[in-house]
Amino acid sequence: EADIYQTPRYLVIGTGKKITLECSQTMGHDKMYWYQQDPGMELHLIHYSYGVNSTEKGDLSSESTVSRIRTEHFPLTLESARPSHTSQYLCASRTGGGTEAFFGQGTRLTVV
Amino acid sequence: DQQVKQNSPSLSVQEGRISILNCDYTNSMFDYFLWYKKYPAEGPTFLISISSIKDKNEDGRFTVFLNKSAKHLSLHIVPSQPGDSAVYFCAARPFGNEKLTFGTGTRLTIIP
């Protein structure tokens, strides 16, 4: 069973607020990812990291930012939330030589 | 441009019978393919994968078939069980590339 955790699971927040979605893994994985998924749609990669102090943008443009100061922690921040940010955000990780990524349970964000 | 396509949004199968989920891709650079299973309000769970050097991989009740010439892969579940009811995502990655591209998913319902 994968040890990757996301908090909060659900978040309803007002427009203009700053939010941080937390993601932590205890597996020592180098690579971490953030995906965004709308209902009935595919998962889109928005950020990824090869390791500490490494962050890259994914295929889907996102106004969010990420940081990777510690191996186990990969938080995602929205400086000013908007209703268009309403979505499910999924964090994942994998080892450098591994193949499959392990996912957290996701954060369902609603911006009102 | 959707590079990984799951053309059946839903599929219903009788318990005990075989479930076959299909996936087509367009990018000939993809060399690694994965299937994930997702329950509502949960993150995706890795099921099975296949490298482009193989045409079949089996793990218990799950078998993935890859037809490179047709750019098609399928997931077979036999026998199907009620706990298999979930959304199944096909995903693919090019060699040496971090970006995992997902399909839109197929909702499988197993009828008791």
Average pLDDT, chain A: 92
CA-CA distances (angstroms) from residue A75 to A39, A50, A92? 23, 14, 12
Is the pLDDT at B22 greater than 80, yes or no?
yes
Residue B87 corresponds to which amino acid?
A: V
Look at A40 and B105 and tell me if their CB atoms are within 8 Å. yes
Residues from chain A contacting residue B33 (CB–CB below 8 Å): none
pLDDT of residue A98: 67
Q: Is the pLDDT of residue A96 over 80?
A: no
pLDDT at B3 (0 to 100): 92
Select from A43, A108, A42, A30 the least CA-distant residue to A74: A30
State the best of A43, A48, A49, A90 to mutate against chain B, taking most chain B CBs within 10 Å: A43
Q: Which residue has the higher pLDDT, B17 or A94?
A: B17
Q: What is the pLDDT of residue A108?
A: 95
Residue A2 has pLDDT above 70, yes or no: no
pLDDT score recorded for residue B98 = 75
CB contact under 8 A, A50 and B98: yes
Residue A97 pLDDT greater than 80, yes or no: no
C-alpha A50/C-alpha B28 separation (Å) is: 25
Please state the rounded mean pLDDT for residues A52-59: 92
Q: Look at B102 and A101 and tell me if their CB atoms are within 8 Å.
A: no
Which of the residues B102, B106, B107 would you substitute to probe the A interface, choosing the one with the greatest number of A C-beta atoms within 10 Å? B102
Predicted confidence at residue A1, as pLDDT, reads 56
Contact A103 B36 (CB under 8 A): yes
Q: How far is the C-alpha of A11 from the C-alpha of B53, rounded, in Å? A: 43
Rounded Cα gap, residues A106 and A8, in angstroms: 8
pLDDT value at A25 more than 90 = yes
For residue B59, CA distances in Å to A84, B25, B52, B67, B92 come to: 40, 23, 17, 18, 19
Q: What is the nearest CA distance from B102 to chain A, expressed in angstroms?
A: 6
The shortest CB-CB distance from B43 to any of A31, A41, A104 is to A104
Alpha carbon distance B39, B24 (integer Å): 22
| Range from A55-64, B26-35, B77-86, B100-109 carrying the lowest mean pLDDT | A55-64
Percent of chain B scoring above 70 in pLDDT: 99
pLDDT tens for A58-87 read 888 788 999 999 999 999 999 999 999 999
Contact (Cβ atoms closer than 8 angstroms) between residue A68 and residue A74: yes
Q: What's the confidence (pLDDT) of residue B96?
A: 78
Question: Which B residues in the span 34-63 are in contact with A, Cβ-Cβ below 8 Å?
Answer: 34, 36, 41-46, 49
- Count the residues in chain B: 112
Q: Are A70 and A51 in contact (CB under 8 A)?
A: no
pLDDT score at A60? 82
Q: How far apart are CA B16 and CA B81, in angstroms?
A: 6
The answer to whether residue B63 scores a pLDDT higher than 70 is yes
